[in-house]
Amino acid sequence: MDRSVQRRNEVAVSVQVLSRSATGDAPARANPAGGRARRHRPAGGWLRLVSPVALIGLWQILSSTGVLPPSRLVSPASIARTAYTLVVTNSPTYGTLQKSLLISAERWAIGLSIGITVAVLLAVVSGLSRFGEYALDPVVQALRSIPLLGLLPLFIVWFGIGELPKDLIVLLGALFPMYVNTFAGIRGVDPKLGELGQVLGLSKWELVRHVVLPGALPSALTGVRLSVIGSLLALVVGEQINANAGLGFMITTAQQFLQNNIIMVCLIVYAIIGLLADWGVRMVEGKALAWRRDFVQ
């Protein structure tokens, strides 16, 4: 084997071992309890559905008995019928539910992907450099303090009423959580790992690649989960102003006609999107951080 390749492999193994031991994330030792936890984990995933199903059942009972009047909160059965109607009927006002969902999903995907990318770049620059921190972090923190709803009028004046202001609102909703968590993850890397890399003769780029970025990965993935929800909330805000299609447009129009059942359908669709996206990130997190010890039995 070439000596340079062998050296890189040894460096990577050494950094990973020290990283896991320094953070208390050494590979779990084989034990019966751990084995049982891993074997029962797939079945345990279904247990997460118990509380939502119980809540929906209680909701339906309260609606059927008149405790929750339809004027205040429509029943789950009514919401299901409304959703079915919106799926199979092409309404002249709303279109179909799936068409509105695709339009909203496109806006969300564009804003989320760009927001996460920009946030990671800003966090890497400010996290690895004091000059970058002094130059970028105050601006990002100041923008993070501004309510997104307050930016909408300016975005409309600057960019018109097309898709760009909506995408920018979603972008900002994804950017700030991702930036804060990635920056904290980079700055939270154990200095001992950097010392090890220097002793092994790693260049600055190799130190960042093999030490800093893997060490910041848990915080960065937490940032992705928060960005998913933050961007969805921003999407709701952006789509309710000067939109002619999408789930937010359906909510605004239904509000004008006091159609609470349609509003509830759209809100539940938002919730399902958020749950599925969060589940996807958790799956990626489980694969990427499989070496972490799980203390929950």
What b/e string do you get for 86-103 counting C-beta neighbours within 10 Å, with b at 16 or more? beeeeeeebbebeebbeb
**pLDDT value at residue 69:** 86
Between 33 and 269, where is the model more confident?
Answer: 269
Site of tokens 């509380």: 51
Mean pLDDT of 130-155: 87
Q: Which amino acid is at 158?
A: W
pTM score of the predicted model: 0.77
> Cα(101)–Cα(266) distance, rounded to whole angstroms?
9
**pLDDT value at residue 215:** 82
Q: Name the DSSP letter for residue 212.
A: I
What b/e string do you get for 5-38 counting C-beta neighbours within 10 Å, with b at 16 or more? eeeeeebeebbeebbbebbeeeebeeeeeeeebe
Query: CB neighbours of 152 closer than 8 A, spacing ≥ 6?
Result: 165, 169, 237, 238, 241
> Cα(295)–Cα(132) distance, rounded to whole angstroms?
37
**pLDDT value at residue 255:** 85
**Which range has highest mean pLDDT (112-126, 137-151, 231-245, 250-264)?**
112-126
> Cα(235)–Cα(248) distance, rounded to whole angstroms?
8
Predicted confidence band of residue 110 (pLDDT cuts 50, 70, 90): very high
Tens digit of pLDDT for each residue in 50-92? 888 898 899 899 988 888 888 788 889 999 999 999 999 887 7
Q: Where are the domains of the chain?
A: 76-288
The proportion of the chain whose per-residue pLDDT surpasses 90, expressed as a percent, equals: 23
CATH topology assigned to domain 76-288: MetI-like fold (1.10.3720)
Q: Residue 248: what are its φ and ψ, rounded to 5°? A: -65, -40
Tens digit of pLDDT for each residue in 159-207? 887 888 888 999 999 999 999 999 999 888 877 776 767 677 777 777 7
Lowest-confidence pick of 130-134, 217-221, 241-245: 241-245
Tokens read off for 88? 């199979």
Site of tokens 């010392």: 195
Between 253 and 46, where is the model more confident?
Answer: 253
> Cα(119)–Cα(179) distance, rounded to whole angstroms?
5
Predicted confidence band of residue 2 (pLDDT cuts 50, 70, 90): low
**pLDDT value at residue 180:** 94
Model confidence at 293: pLDDT above 70: no
